[in-house]
Structure formats: C-alpha cells, structure tokens
Amino acid sequence: MSDLGIGAGAGGGGATVRRDPRASQGVLADGVIKTKPRVERNRVLVTGGAGFVGSHLCEFLVNRGDQVICIDNFFTGSKDNIAHLIGKPNFEVIRHDVVEPILLEVDQIFHLACPASPIHYKYNPIKTIKTSFLGTMNMLGLARRVRARFLLTSTSEVYGDPLQHPQTESYWGNVNPIGERSCYDEGKRAAECLTMDYHREHGIEVRIVRIFNTYGPRMALDDGRVVSNFVAQVGALMHPRVRGCDVSL
C-alpha cells in the first residue's frame, strides 16, 4: 500500500474521538513501530477500516507511525479484523456511518467504506448506493474543510460488462444503470464523478484507485465473489469450477 500516492501532510489538529472500550482494558496494547520522525507522522482517517482491505491499510499506517482514525458502521466490517490494533497509542476507532457527516481534523482520508459483496449490495441496494454517493460527498466535504488529501477506492465494476479487453483507465465502460448490480456499479461511478468535481472546483488533491479481485488474510469466504467462492470450494475439498469449466489442482 506504500505506492498509493498519499504523501506526508502538515500535521493534524487534536479532535477528540471515542476509543473502542476494549482499548481502555489494555487489549493488545503493544508498542508502535515508528518508522517516521514525529514531525512527518500524519493524522489519517480510514473509512471502512474494519473491512478486509481497510483493516490491512490501518495496520500498515499504524506500523508506519501515523495517527490512524478508523471509522466503520460494522455493517460488513468486523471488530475481529482490527482487534490486534486496539490499544495501540496511535489507533482510534469510531463506530459511525459515513452517510452522516463527521467533524474531524485529519491530513489524509482513505475512503473505503461501501458494501463490496454481491450478497450485501443485492440485499440492501439503497444503503449501498447511499454509502457510495452520500458517504463520498461527506468525506469530500471534510477533505475540503480541512484541506486533506483524499483517496477514493473505486472498483473494476465501473466498467460494467466491458466491450474492451483489457480495460484502460480511459475506457468509459458498458454499464446497465437499472440492473441488480447497478446500485454498486453506478454508485462507484457517481463517487468517482464527485471526487473529480471536488478536485476541479475546490482544488482538493485526490486519488482514485480501481480495485479488482483481491484475496488474503481476513477475506470472508462467504461474500459471494469469485475468488472467495473458489477458495471456499477448494477448502471444502470440492471440485472447483471457474466460469463453468473444470479446473484441476
């Protein structure tokens, strides 16, 4: 995650946030690997920080020596993913839904919050698109207020059912705006649009990354995505099938 394009900030203010109750009990309260001088440590906000990707990002930033604020509504995220970080002096967690605004003083914002599993966004499509659109608008509004750098995690789903293979970043996609998956696809497309509009109109420094299929520790095997389905089948000693074709291991 070190090549995400987010540089050193100017040092954040001292907003008061709520630490998870377990932190006061000394759970996993080991030290911090300070790889950066204090003057170069940033106050970083990670939305969706208790999710699969978000928890790994929080871990990286904490170990780098940044002051990390993780916010998550735990709709799809899990406290187990960040249990090893709770109690560290430079990690704080707030239970919060990004659909609602929040006031913090930060130098950088990594905006990951959004249900990314087909199971979740088909079950609750309105929440999914609200999280993508309103959540991104709220985080961009915060970035504008405190002049923070902003990174949006988007998705390969912005390409829809692509007619171009492989896809370049300049490809606009082939997306169904009214299908079952459109709450996620179009929500992320709208989030990208908002991000670039805030950059052009308000001068916010932004980055957008389009994440494709990911796998690794803390990945949920029941989230309905192709990699997790494949791994779950292998783990269950079933004969895996990918795109309807037999695969030998």
Instruction: Give the catalytic positions in this structure.
Output: 184
C-alpha–C-alpha distance, residues 210 and 157, integer Å: 9
**DSSP, res 85:** T
Partners of 211 in beta bridges: 155
DSSP 208-234: EEEE-----TT--TTS--HHHHHHHHH
Partners of 152 in beta bridges: 111, 208
Coarse DSSP helix, strand, coil percentages of the chain, rounded to the nearest 5 percent: 35, 15, 50
Please, are residues 194 and 136 in contact by the beta-carbon 8 Å criterion?
yes
Nearest to 92 by CA among 126, 136, 45: 45
Residue 174 — φ and ψ, nearest 5°?
Answer: -140, 85
SS in 3 state form for 28-59?
A: CCCCCCCCCCHHHCCEEEEECCCCHHHHHHHH
C-alpha–C-alpha distance, residues 81 and 217, integer Å: 9
